[in-house]
């Protein structure tokens, strides 16, 4: 009944910006009550549709991209995609009957498929002089056709879900910039921060029990303790379990954030609700629900698993606590400001941002030589000259690598339990051709903090490139499923994983999901995949881009691949794909590793 009334009230097509705004509106609504992985499902399908890739939205690709399933996924045996789609449809129906009853834009995912449909209510469309037209990227007019075809064929009279990709990637940008300003104690009037901030401080408040009985109360305390324990290994933040007391008449520093939550029991189902609040103004900058069946793992493992999910979402690198822009931290050279600078630079990956971050970290080390974090991030900044030389236009040499290695070792000596320092040491060893040392450092970093998506993702990539594809790709998949950043970075790792196991169709999907403009090496991966698939015209387009935009890479292909892929058979598979794509490979080029 409800869906029929919505169908009769709709007839036009919203613009892309309107779709993004609607996603933000729904996801901020307390009436939209879904756990993280179900939201990721919708993030993915909406993002792919807006990017013009709706044809890829099959159960197989969604299971790999969202739920971390491997190439052996069988939709008949594993109904995870179908089940989550049903939950989404029910929850969206609830939203549009409550908070969204007057919303202009309707987002649906009709039964029988996973591609979303975007529409405008009839009464809203009638107010427009000219109906809105969908103009999504990667589109040559096909998007309008399929949206209208879906409505005219009656597909839209089913229940409907939505996604929040644009809330994370774009719609919340102003909120995050504001959060970073408040994080430093700044006012929007442009005042100078009163004192240097060395860490993000987070107060973990006791999770409340929303159900009667001792069991719910015990689980609430257990999740609170687990969250604190799992937050502590993140060296970028300081965890506070109680408000600090003032000393000698001086006010104690206030935590910047508060993590609040509650626990509710419904039979064997445990629902945990968590939110991150900015204490300066009480703004909620992140919130989510997590559901789990205690019959599957038992009480202790269930609460530990929920704590893992909450901690990863809150404290992950490039996440909500570390998103900012260069302007908001200009002139600050304390260790934490420079950490924010690093995450900001890695998101945009430009030479100017790289140099600014390097200068910031060098000054931070001079001011605080005991800072393990500052040394680790400066090491990573130097190592980026090896990872991204054709994007940053750098010419790394042995001296740069030695400096990066020395900084990484210094960071580990200052704090042997700093996972970021061990991550830097892993990369330094890797580019020094010491695979054994790199794997030891990576394993130690991951053991210290498996909830750090940057550690898990980088360790997974290096394991894979060293030849341990099964183990490494599982970690990369885990990082992607937890929204590891920067956006589109680890997707190219998934593309390599699929390529090396011979699944070239999945490899192309993952490669196109990566940010191809982030690093010319990403396009080189796509070029090898297209060559292997025999898609010569599409390969020619990528090859022209590389020759035009990154000509220095072409004569150094063998060297760059040799630096990354340890096994000769992996190198040859990659080179064969490039040759089939029409890339001239000079046998005189040096292959290193």
Residue 349: half-sphere exposure toward Cβ, Cα within 13 Å: 23
Residue closest to 14 by CA, chosen among 100, 105, 96, 103: 105
- String of DSSP letters for 248-300: TTBPPPPPSEEEEEEEEEETTEEEEEEEEEETTTTEEEEEEEEEEEHHHH-HH
Q: How far is CA 106 from the centre of its chain?
A: 26
247: which DSSP letter? B
pLDDT at residue number 10: 45
CA distances from 572 to 421, 469, 558 (A): 33, 16, 10
Per residue of the chain (593 residues), what is the pLDDT tens digit? Answer: 333 334 434 446 888 888 888 888 887 787 777 777 777 888 888 888 888 888 888 888 888 888 777 777 777 667 778 878 877 887 887 778 778 888 899 988 888 788 888 888 766 555 543 433 333 433 333 333 323 323 222 323 333 333 333 333 333 333 333 333 333 333 323 322 333 345 688 999 999 999 989 999 999 999 999 999 999 999 888 898 877 665 555 555 678 899 999 999 999 999 999 999 988 888 898 999 999 999 998 999 999 999 999 999 999 998 888 875 445 555 677 788 899 899 999 999 999 999 999 999 999 999 999 999 999 999 999 999 999 999 999 998 999 999 999 999 999 999 999 999 999 999 999 999 999 999 999 999 999 999 999 999 999 999 999 999 999 999 999 999 888 989 889 999 999 999 999 999 999 999 999 999 999 999 999 999 999 999 999 999 999 999 999 999 999 999 999 999 999 999 999 999 999 999 988 655 544 44
pLDDT at residue number 335: 81
Place of tokens 């990539």: 461
CA distance 180 to 418: 23
pLDDT at residue number 192: 28
Q: With helix as H, strand as E and coil as C, how does 488-550 read?
A: CCCHHHHHHHHHHCCCHHHHHHHHHHCCCCCCHHHHHHHHHHHHHHCCHHHHHHHHHHHHHHC
Residue closest to 54 by CA, chosen among 99, 117, 122: 117
CA distance 593 to 401: 15
Check: CATH 1.25.40.10 for 328-450?
A: yes
What angle (nearest 5°) sits at the alpha carbon of residue 244, between those of residues 286 and 206?
Answer: 45
Please count the other Cβ atoms lying within 10 Å of the Cβ belonging to residue 534: 11
> What's the topology of domain 488-593?
1.25.40
Query: pLDDT by residue (tens digit) across 523-537?
Result: 999 999 999 999 999
Kindly state the helix (H) or strand (E) to which residue 428 belongs, with its residue range.
helix 419-431
- String of DSSP letters for 138-176: T-SSHHHHHHHHHHHTTGGGS------HHIIIIITHHHH
Residue 403: half-sphere exposure toward Cβ, Cα within 13 Å: 16
CATH number for the domain formed by residue range(s) 172-315: 3.30.160.100
Q: What are phi and psi of 12, to 5 degrees?
A: -120, 180
The ranges assigned to domains in the chain are: 2-166, 172-315, 328-450, 488-593
Decide if 172-315 and 488-593 have a common fold: no
Write down the H helix ranges in 68-213: 80-97, 122-126, 142-152, 165-166, 173-183
CA distances from 574 to 348, 388, 500, 529, 592 (A): 28, 19, 8, 8, 14
Is the C-alpha dihedral spanning 25, 26, 32, 37 positive or negative?
negative
């Amino acid at each position: 009944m409800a869906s029929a009334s919505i169908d009769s009230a709709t007839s036009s097509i919203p613009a892309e910006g309107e779709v993004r705004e609607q996603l933000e509106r729904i996801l901020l609504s307390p009436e939209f009550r879904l756990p993280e992985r179900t939201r990721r499902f919708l993030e993915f399908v909406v993002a792919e549709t807006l990017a013009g890739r709706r044809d890829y939205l099959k159960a197989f690709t969604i299971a790999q991209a969202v739920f971390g399933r491997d190439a052996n996924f069988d939709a008949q045996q594993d109904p995870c995609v179908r089940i989550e789609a049903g939950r989404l449809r029910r929850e969206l129906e609830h939203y549009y009957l409550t908070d969204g009853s007057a919303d202009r834009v309707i987002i649906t995912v009709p039964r029988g498929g996973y591609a979303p449909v975007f529409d405008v209510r009839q009464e809203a469309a009638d107010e427009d002089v000219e109906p809105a037209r969908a103009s999504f990227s990667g589109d040559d007019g096909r998007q309008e056709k399929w949206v209208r075809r879906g409505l005219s064929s009656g597909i839209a009279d089913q229940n409907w879900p939505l996604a929040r990709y644009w809330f994370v990637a774009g719609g919340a940008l102003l909120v995050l910039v504001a959060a970073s300003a408040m994080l430093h104690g700044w006012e929007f009037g442009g005042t100078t921060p009163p004192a240097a901030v060395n860490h993000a401080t987070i107060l973990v408040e006791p999770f409340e029990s929303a159900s009667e009985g001792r069991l719910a109360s015990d689980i609430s305390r257990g999740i609170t303790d687990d969250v604190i324990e799992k937050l502590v290994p993140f060296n970028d933040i300081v965890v506070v379990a109680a408000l600090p007391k003032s000393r000698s008449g001086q006010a104690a520093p206030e935590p910047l954030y508060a993590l609040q939550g509650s626990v509710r029991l419904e039979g064997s189902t445990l629902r945990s609700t968590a939110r991150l609040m900015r204490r300066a103004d009480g703004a909620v900058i992140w919130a989510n629900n997590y559901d789990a069946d205690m019959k599957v793992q038992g009480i202790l493992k269930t609460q530990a698993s929920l704590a893992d999910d909450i901690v990863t979402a809150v404290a992950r690198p490039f996440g909500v606590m570390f998103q900012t822009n260069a302007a908001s931290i200009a002139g600050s050279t304390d260790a934490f400001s420079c950490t924010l600078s690093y995450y900001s630079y890695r998101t945009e990956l430009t030479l100017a941002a790289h140099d600014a971050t390097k200068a910031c970290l060098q000054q931070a080390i001079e001011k605080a030589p005991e800072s393990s974090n500052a040394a680790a991030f400066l090491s990573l900044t130097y190592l980026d000259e090896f990872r991204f030389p054709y994007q940053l236009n750098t010419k790394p040499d042995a001296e740069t690598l030695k400096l990066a290695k020395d900084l990484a070792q210094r960071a580990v000596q200052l704090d042997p339990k700093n996972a970021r320092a061990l991550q830097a040491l892993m990369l330094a060893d890797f580019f020094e051709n010491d695979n054994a040392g790199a794997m030891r450092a990576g394993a130690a970093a991951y053991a210290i903090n498996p909830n750090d998506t940057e550690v898990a993702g980088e360790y997974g990539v290096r394991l894979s490139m060293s030849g341990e594809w099964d183990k490494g790709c599982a970690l990369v998949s885990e990082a992607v499923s937890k929204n590891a950043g920067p956006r589109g970075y680890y997707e190219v790792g998934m593309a390599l994983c699929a390529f090396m196991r011979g699944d070239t169709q999945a490899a192309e999907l993952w490669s196109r999901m990566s940010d191809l403009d982030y690093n010319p090496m990403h396009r080189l991966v796509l070029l090898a995949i297209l060559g292997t698939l025999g898609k010569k015209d599409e390969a020619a387009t990528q090859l022209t881009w590389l020759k035009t935009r990154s000509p220095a890479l072409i004569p150094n292909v063998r060297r760059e691949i040799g630096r990354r892929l340890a096994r000769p058979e992996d190198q040859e598979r990659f080179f064969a794909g490039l040759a089939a794509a029409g890339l001239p490979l000079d046998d005189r080029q040096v292959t290193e590793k």
